[in-house]
Amino acid sequence: MRRVGIASLGAYVPPKILTNKDLEKMVDTSDEWITTRTGIKERRIADESQASSDLAYEASKIALAEAGIEPSDLDMIIVCGVTFDYPFPATACILQDRLGANKAGAMDIEAGCTGFIYALSVAYSYVACGFYDNVLVVGSDVLSKVTDWQDRSSCILFGDAAGAAVVTPYKGQGELLNFYLRSDGSRTDDLLIPAGGSRNPASHKTVEERLHYMKLNGPEVFRLAVRVIEDAVTAILNKAQLKKEDIAILIPHQANIRIIQTAARNLAIPQEKFFVNVDRYGNTSAASIPLAFYEALKEGRIKKGDYIILVGFGAGLTWGAFLIRW
Ligand code: ACO
């Protein structure tokens, strides 16, 4: 097995900002309710013409430039998310063409908001085995397109973004050390888009019943999220035989500040060690972890040699963690 590292990161958010005050004009809510229940102040919204691959393209360009890699150097492109451009073909293929990555394979991975951790584990395995040298992993989601803007309990939560990473043989930075992945398909109904797939194909009826929008059992997902973050962090520490004190920074999926605070308390890890940007972007699904990772790096929160844990949960239910040494 070869040692594997993250050569670079990139991220993109659309310029349009939707604040809690704007939402007050759209549904029966308040800035105070959203801030105290979620920690979110504003989120970014893609314009009508922007699909997942458009956001992915912008984040990828930054990651490739920072890695000093040409698109033609890529062996594989993996896009993860829940709001792909089309049911098929893969958004990764659209990105491959747009980038001009003429020697790369391309595929999508769907693991809800845990997508980036799942996709990173695949890239890691390809490079560790020596099959590939340059793998682009992109988490991209345009949740605003599947949000029911009449449902105040969910529409306040989400935003649009993309984050990317270039995974290569280890060159002295961002070594991928270990990962932990889990799922529980018995929780499907707590978070899903009920129609548009082969279970409930799209029809006039499904559209009239608003079944093409995301449905979320908020309190239940909250409870599960806290439990699985604890599970994943504990498991990855045990696997690596590290102590909580060894970890410099945790980069959690940004869904709700109260989920992060409760998990930090239950794990007895100081909350300051959890990177937070949910206030500015809301929940951006598969983009959330790479976007937070990119910002943590740019803000100087990550130093050479630091142990980092990425930890996420999402629809499926899926959850997992990745241990990295910067
Ligand atoms: N504005 C004002 N009041 C509201 C709003 C709103 N936007 N939304 C709900 N309420 C009301 C409810 O109607 C309810 O009123 P009632 O008591 O009169 O019935 C009250 O506020 C409390 O509602 P709850 O749903 O119990 O509120 P809770 O404190 O659980 O917060 C929230 C809701 C923010 C959705 C929370 O449960 C949460 O964050 N859950 C996790 C969501 C999440 O992380 N999902 C993952 C998303 S997808 C993914 O990551 C793949």
CB 254 within 8 A of CB 286: no
pLDDT of residue 257: 98
Q: Please state, in angstroms and rounded to a whole number, the distance separating the CA atoms of residues 164 and 303.
A: 20
Please write the tens of the pLDDT for every residue from 72-94.
Answer: 999 999 999 999 999 999 999 99
Structure confidence by residue, pLDDT tens digits, 98-146 = 999 999 999 999 999 999 999 999 999 999 999 999 999 999 999 999 9
Whichever domain contains 100, its CATH number is 3.40.47.10
Residues 126 and 22 in one domain: yes
Q: Are 310 and 289 in contact (CB under 8 A)?
A: yes
Q: What is the mean pLDDT of the chain?
A: 97
Whether 75 and 185 map to the same domain: the answer is no
Which residue's CA is the nearest one to ligand 1's atom 50? 314
Mark which of 153, 173, 193 sits at the end of a domain: 173
**Banded pLDDT at 313 (limits 50, 70, 90):** very high
Residues 6+ apart with CB under 8 A from 49: none
Domain check: are 75 and 26 in the same one? yes
Query: What local confidence, expressed as pLDDT, does residue 204 receive?
Result: 97
Q: What is residue 271's predicted lDDT score, i.e. its pLDDT? A: 97
How remote is the CA of residue 153 from the centroid of ligand 1, in Å? 5
Pairing of strands 17-19, 42-44: antiparallel
Say whether 93 is catalytic.
no
Determine which residue's CA is closest to atom 47 belonging to ligand 1.
Answer: 255
| 221-232 per-residue burial string, b: 16 or more CB within 10 A, e: under 16 | bbebbbebbbbb
Distance (Å) from CA 303 to ligand 1 centroid: 36
User: CA-CA distances (angstroms) from residue 107 to 135, 167, 314?
Assistant: 11, 16, 20
Give me 16's structure tokens.
Answer: 């349009």
Report the pLDDT value the prediction gives residue 296, as an integer from 0 to 100: 98
pLDDT in tens, 229-255: 999 999 999 999 999 999 999 999 999
Question: How far is the centre of ligand 1, averaged over its atoms, from the C-alpha of 184 (Å)?
Answer: 22
Together in a domain, 141 and 188: no
Write the pLDDT tens digit of every residue in 17-48: 999 999 999 999 999 999 999 999 999 999 99
Looking up tokens 């492109």 gives 77
Quick one: 303 and 157 in the same domain?
Answer: no
**Sign (positive/negative) of CA torsion 289, 294, 295, 301?**
positive
Residues with CB under 6 A from ligand 1: 29, 33, 37-38, 112-113, 152-153, 156, 191, 216, 218-219, 221-222, 225, 255-256, 283, 285, 314-315
Give Cβ neighbours of residue 240 (< 8 Å, ≥ 6 apart).
177, 178, 323
Q: What is the pLDDT of residue 155?
A: 97
- Using left for φ > 0, alpha for ψ between -120 and 50, and beta otherwise, residue 269 falls in beta
90 and 23 part of one domain: yes
User: Which domain covers residue 71, as residue numbers?
Assistant: 4-173
Find how far residue 20's CA is from the centre of its chain: 22
33, 36, 37, 318: which to mutate for ligand 1, most atoms within 8 A of CB? 37
Residue with tokens 């888009």: 193
What H or E segment, with its residue span, contains residue 252?
strand 247-252
Distance, CA 244 to ligand 1 centroid (Å)?
Answer: 31
The ligand 1 atom at the shortest distance from the C-alpha of residue 253 is: 50
Both 191 and 310 in a single domain?
yes
Task: Tell me, yes or no, whether 256 and 156 share the same domain.
Answer: no
| pLDDT the model gives residue 129 | 98
Residues 198 and 301 in one domain: yes
Residue 223 shares a structural domain with residue 100: no
- Ligand 1 test: best mutation among 222, 257, 284, 319, most atoms within 8 Å of CB? 222
Which three-class secondary structure state does DSSP give residue 230? helix
pLDDT of residue 205: 97
Cα(325)–Cα(144) distance, rounded to whole angstroms?
Answer: 34
> What's the 33 CA to ligand 1 centre distance in angstroms?
10
**Does the annotation count 253 as an active-site position?**
yes
Instruction: Tell me how many domains the chain contains.
Output: 2
Which of ligand 1's atoms lies nearest the C-alpha of 256?
39
Name the domain boundary from 118, 140, 173.
Answer: 173
Domain boundary among 130, 151, 173: 173
**Given 80, 113, 178, 256, the catalytic residue:** 113
Answer yes or no: do 166 and 284 share one domain: no
Same domain, 169 and 186: no
Summarised one tens digit per residue, pLDDT across range 271-301 is 999 999 999 999 999 999 999 999 999 999 9
Q: Do residues 244 and 269 make contact, with C-beta atoms less than 8 angstroms apart?
A: yes
Rounded Cα gap, residues 304 and 319, in angstroms: 27
What's this model's pTM, rounded to 2 decimal places? 0.97
What is the rounded end-to-end Cα distance, in angstroms, of the chain? 19
